[in-house]
Amino acid sequence: MPPPFAADAVMEAAAAGLRLGVCVTEGIPVLDMVRATAFVAGTAMRLIGPNCPGVMTPGQAKIGFIPNHVGRPGRVGVVARSGTLTYEVIQGLSEAGYGETTAVGIGGDPVLGSTFVDILPLFAGDPATEAVVLVGEIGGSDEERAAQWIRSSGFDRPVIAFISGRTAPPGKRMGHAGAIISGTTGSAQGKIDALSAAEPPSPTPSRTWCGWSARGSRLKACPAWPRSGAWAPLPGGVWPRLGGVPSASPGTWPGRRCAGCRPDAPGRWHSGPLRRPR
């Protein structure tokens, strides 16, 4: 739908009782979207977008233009503002063998139908999602509000966050209409600090695993988890710190060596709650 008519089309779909609307159109006037989102808020429709790549559950369904071949069914949820980075994250997870439950591109415009705090609770209610990758960018305060929600809600899945636009000068729009630093808000460092401070709750025995066997075919619960240390941010996002040294073993999920495991045991690296598909 062309930008001048897209907001009206969104409202028509909501008025008709559509439960899910995905608007991929870029360049919709901001005031049009303010009017459209206010209207949608009074209906049963969940709006994704505008200016987004859509939604995909690999092997089941897709709305939008996320490339089919980059996804594979798995255990990681993806929510992102950037369309291209959505594709890259999906492809990286697929090639690493983790796959995705659902990937949601929320869009990069200043006014959105759904933000991070609207999508994260859906992943929290999905038992198949064992970790979430959050891809943000400069501009607005969506990432900071997501960090606050992660902290206040007790979200019990690892959240790996990436923020683009770290080199953007203040007042300069970088790509998306919403990717602009205004005054003291919207900076990449502010978002990184907020997400790094959003520590998840302490791990439990049922969700903390101690690495792979030598053949990578089985997981073994770690008996040392209660004394393994506190959760802390690792490079690239928020992830559990379980003591020891950073993992450098090829093919293992980023984490920490368990302080209670034998140093010479092959493949015994803490992987957090994520279990690689066999």
CA angle 77, 40, 31 (to 5 degrees): 100
> For residue range 14-51, what is the model confidence (pLDDT) as tens digits?
999 999 999 999 999 999 999 999 999 999 999 999 99
CA dihedral 111, 116, 119, 122 (to 10 degrees): -150
Q: In the predicted model, what is the mean pLDDT of the chain? A: 75
What's the pLDDT at 50? 96
What's the pLDDT at 216? 31
What DSSP line would sit under 90-110, residue for residue? Answer: HHHHHHTT--EEEEEE--SSS
Confidence tier at 171 by pLDDT (50, 70, 90): low
Of the candidates 81, 176, 191, 257, the residue annotated as catalytic is 176
What's the pLDDT at 140? 84
Question: For the whole model, what pTM was predicted?
Answer: 0.70
Residue type, position 107, single letter: G
Q: What is the token pair recorded at 141?
A: 């305060």
CA contacts within 13 A on the Cβ side of 221: 7
> For residue range 50-61, what is the model confidence (pLDDT) as tens digits?
999 999 999 999
**Which residues touch 68 (CB under 8 Å, ≥6 apart)?**
56, 62
Q: Which of 3-17, 73-87, 138-152, 171-185 has the lowest mean pLDDT?
A: 171-185
Yes or no: say if 241 and 230 are a contact pair by the CB < 8 Å rule.
yes
In whole angstroms, what separates CA 5 from the centre of its chain?
A: 30
- The long-range contacts involving 166-169, CB below 8 angstroms and separated by at least 24 positions, are 166/138, 168/138
Q: Is the pLDDT of residue 226 over 50?
A: no
Is 270 tagged catalytic?
no
Q: Which domains does the chain have, with CATH numbers?
A: 1-47 (3.40.50.720), 51-197 (3.40.50.261), 202-278 (no CATH)
Q: Which of 64-68, 120-124, 132-136, 191-195 has the lowest mean pLDDT?
A: 191-195
What's the pLDDT at 139? 83
What's the pLDDT at 181? 53
The proportion of the chain whose per-residue pLDDT surpasses 70, expressed as a percent, equals 65
What's the pLDDT at 196? 87
